[in-house]
Structure 1
Amino acid sequence: MQEMPLLVFTLLEQTAVGAFAALAALRLAGKAGEGKVAFKIGLTVFAMSVVAMGASMFHLGQPLRAVNVLFGMGSSWLSREILFFGLFAACALVYALLERADKAGAAKAVGVVGAVCGVMAIVSTAICYTQPGVPAWNSAWTPAQFALTAVACGIPLYGALSATFGGAAAKRAGAWWAAFAVLFVTQIAMRWMFFSDIVTLTSTLPTT
């Protein structure tokens, strides 16, 4: 499927944002375990973000010119999506480094900023896809599905990573990973059908 890069990008984007938002919120509330655990989770989220951005570039006709998309910031939601997600990824990295340096106060502030940027990235993505040209996407279900992915996959991923890296729920790592796997596979299937709509629409258009 030619939309595979977008499937990978949207799933990883939303899952990473959900996991990071959960981390930032719980860390702010003092319930996210030690700084070394937060450091590893932040670094994992950053790695996921890099993979997501790499996947998105394969959808462009000329990946090496992807930076040109940023020039439409004033009028293009695609440009805003790239900006917000880039800022989110940067915040995840800075957050991880601050946790590593035991700068908990600064890390919490960066965590909040990163979570906001992540949410705005998902909002921008939803607006990009909610277009009249594709009736199957032009509904409230599109942003709802993206938000659902962030919550349904992001929170279990946070729990799984926290348990794996030695958080408070270390004994439940297997259960967390199982829950994440089931929910993530479900989201893959849903996203596959989502992008199949545009493939079907394109294939039915008359050729000249």
Structure 2
Amino acid sequence: MTRITLVEGDITEQQVDVVVNAANSSLLGGGGVDGAIHRKGGPEILADCRRLRASHYGKGLGTGQAVATTGGRLAARWVVHTVGPVYLAEDYERRAELLASCYRESLRVAAGLGARTVAFPAVSAGVYGWPLDDAARIALTTVSESEPGPVKGERASDRVLEEIRFVLFGAESYGAFERAWQELERRD
């Protein structure tokens, strides 16, 4: 059974197997979480991202997709980069599905790496403008319903994701995720 935890803190400081990066489609760094991960992780992450751009992702990573690189100088072994959607109320349903896909695809990639612990930021809830309460609801609902299974040829017991950790920057983000988690628990 996978444990879901919430912490207020800095995602670049997490002692986990995988840190998820709320990346931009270029994979070459940016602001917010993306910039912090690239700065703290060092040039090894950027070098891996450039290799990905030169091989499979010449036009960049699509919204809702995920791909892994080294963790570089982070405490995490790997970084899984995912591109969240920009919030637009008039295209809510499609974009909400893309946001959920960020979490599902990141977990799928992490499971493929053999990760036991994964740390997520609040994808799209920063400069991409997604309302925090809704971003929290989508994130927690998606991960609580997504249990990545074994890769072909493996037994289910070979691949155990022990913890999904949401690392939230600031009391406002933490509070939104805490409220969403309490609401989910009431429904169960």
| TM exceeding 0.5 | no
Rg larger for: 1
Q: Which has the higher helix share?
A: 1
* Larger strand fraction of residues: 2
* TM-score in terms of structure 1 length: 0.28
